[in-house]
Amino acid sequence: MQKIINAMTVDVEDYFHVSAFEDSINKSDWDNLPLRVERNTYRLLEIFEKYNAKSTFFTLGWVAKRCPDLIKAIVDQGHEIASHGFSHQRATEMSREEFFSDVEQSKSILEDLSGKAVIGYRAPSFSINDTNTWVYDVLLELGFKYSSSTYPINHDLYGVPSWPRFSYQRDEGSENQKLLEIPIPTLRNNDVNTGIGGGGYFRLYPYWLSKKRIDKFHQQEQQPYSFYFHPWEIDPDQPRVKEAPLKSKFRHYINLSRMEGKLEQLLKDYQWDTMKNIYIKSDV
């Protein structure tokens, strides 16, 4: 069996941007909080270089604006820059006009800093569902070629279990201009999808179990696997948000000290490339 090359992705945001803390931290305070995303992302670049892995960095425009040299470093090391919007606001909470403005601003900043066309988008908290499929029309209008914004699972914060599990072309747009949606990977057992894409699941479970699930996905589906995580997940010394709900704190802080070691093992065990190279396969 030919070895499958998988897609590594990083959602470049800081600990205070996460949706789980949105009721505990005001956006007006972001500028006054300790910025840790730059240091953490540079550390990820070192780790990726060590294992000759390439990644797509879905980056907030807010981060890019404050860390312009970081964007240049990501591109200089052969990784892909993609958009995570500007202000980490969920797409389900924005009007069409607000969404257009947010994503256009992010795309413009990222392209100016990187000198590269930005063709990929990921919605904060996988916030595309049956209520806002108009998002795809906006992404096409802005020149995107793919999105990785859906998670076909049952989850209290996101997820549309009935949506496709594998990359597929959306119906929106003209015949010559369609958008590819690349869902976060799942395993399917007894008609139920289980998330295996990374993030909190990867930190919560022992590495051997995560590897077993990835191997099962490869064996069953013969599809590339894509993994996602955040720079703050390798930062056990980040400031604690004491006001956050217990459930949010558990999800955010569980096993942060073990993440870097698990990530290195993941990079050793599989081959990794960018979303663009795995799924688009054209010289954009």
pLDDT at 123: 97
Question: How many whole angstroms separate alpha carbon 105 and alpha carbon 86?
Answer: 7
Q: Which residue has the tokens 């990187």?
A: 114
- In the chain, the DSSP E strands lie at 5-12, 56-59, 80-83, 120-121, 146-147, 168-169, 180-181, 186-189, 192-195, 226-229, 271-273
Given this model, what pLDDT does residue 158 score?
60
Length of the chain, please? 284
Q: Which domains does the chain have, with CATH numbers?
A: 5-280 (3.20.20.370)
Q: Who contacts 228 (Cβ-Cβ below 8 Å, separation ≥6)? A: 9, 10, 11, 122, 148, 184, 197, 198, 199
What is the structure's pLDDT at 2? Answer: 63
Please report the pLDDT score of residue 176 as a whole number.
Answer: 85
Buried/exposed 171-207: b ≥16 CB within 10 Å, e otherwise: ebeeeeebbbbbbbbbbeeeeebebbbbbbebbebee
| Dist CA 260 CA 270 (whole Å) | 16
Q: Which whole-number Å values give the CA distances from 141 to 61, 96, 136, 167, 172, in the listed order?
A: 19, 12, 9, 20, 11
The full 3-state SS of 253-276, as one line of letters, equals HCCHHHHHHHHHHHHHHCEEECHH
At residue 284, the pLDDT reads 46
The answer to whether 10 and 55 are in contact (CB under 8 A) is yes
Give the number of other CB atoms < 10 A from CB of residue 73.
Answer: 15
CA 136: distance to chain centroid?
Answer: 17
pLDDT tens for the chain, 284 residues long, are: 468 999 999 999 999 999 889 989 999 999 999 999 999 999 999 999 999 999 999 999 999 999 999 999 999 999 999 999 999 999 999 999 999 999 999 999 999 999 999 999 999 999 999 999 999 999 999 999 999 999 987 665 665 878 999 999 999 988 889 999 999 999 998 888 888 999 888 999 999 999 999 999 999 999 999 999 999 999 999 999 999 999 889 889 999 999 999 999 999 999 999 999 999 975 44
Give the pLDDT confidence score for residue 64 in this predicted structure.
98
The SS3 call for residue 232 is helix
Report yes or no: 152 and 163 within 8 Å, Cβ to Cβ: yes
